Amino acid sequence: MTVDRERVRALVHELLGAIGEDPDRPGLRQTPQRVADAYAEFFAGVGEDAAAPLAHTISVSSGPAPDTVPSGAVMLRDIRFRSMCEHHLLPFTGHAHIAYLPGEQVVGLGALPKVVGILASRPQVQERLGEQIADTIMGSLDCRGVLVVLDATHQCVTTRGEQQADASTVTIAARGDLAEPAARAELIALIGAGPGR
């Protein structure tokens, strides 16, 4: 799906008038188009197939490195993401940490940030975003378990209401063998042991 930039531009022009501003003054004249262009980027994931980046897999037993079959989890930490809170249309930004227990197939590590990016580029709530990432990976890869930890700062918390500038939200989504807290404890510890922590 493509964002209707012209419609967004017209609506932002109207919104500026609704808040008491003059949308035609020099400082705001280009704002409706700038917002339309930004929204086209922010919401590029609407209607996109989040599983598409996982379509190309690599066999661990007969692939290019059969002598390096992983005996434990594959983890990618500190995947930067940004999304828009569907409640206030304010951004939230943070890091995703993803681990999965591979079966016979693995995926290139670059595919995991693409999944996050597609799902984050929609109106979202953090809790659902983590669940969608976990479901997409579990449903598309030959894996025994998935763990997704999201740590994000929400502008609806930091810039409005109580204005808690240092508050961040952590959510966990787990599937398969990693659904039990004891099974994922080591991975949670590894996430917390990353650089700068």
Tens of pLDDT, residues 101-122: 998 888 999 999 999 999 999 9
pLDDT, tens digit, 9 for 90 and up, residues 116-174: 999 999 999 999 999 999 999 999 998 999 999 999 999 998 898 888 988 899 999 99
Q: Which residue, among 168, 187, 167, has the nearest Cα to 177 in the 3D structure?
A: 187
- Length of the chain, in residues: 197
CATH of the domain at 25: 1.10.286.10
Say if residue 65 is in the same domain as residue 119.
yes
Asked if residue 131 is part of any domain, the answer here is yes
Domain that holds residue 106: 57-192
Asked if residue 126 is part of any domain, the answer here is yes
Say if residue 117 is in the same domain as residue 173.
yes
- Answering whether pTM is above 0.75, one says yes
End-to-end CA distance of the chain: 39
Say if residue 65 is in the same domain as residue 160.
yes
Asked if residue 46 is part of any domain, the answer here is no
Q: How many CB atoms lie within 10 A of CB 11?
A: 16
Asked if residue 163 is part of any domain, the answer here is yes
Q: Is 156 annotated among the ligand-binding residues?
A: yes
Say if residue 169 is in the same domain as residue 82.
yes
CATH of the domain at 84: 3.30.1130.10
Q: Is 143 annotated among the ligand-binding residues?
A: no
| Residue 80 neighbours by CB under 8 Å, 6+ apart | 93, 94, 95
Say if residue 66 is in the same domain as residue 126.
yes
Say if residue 124 is in the same domain as residue 182.
yes
DSSP, res 172: E
Asked if residue 85 is part of any domain, the answer here is yes
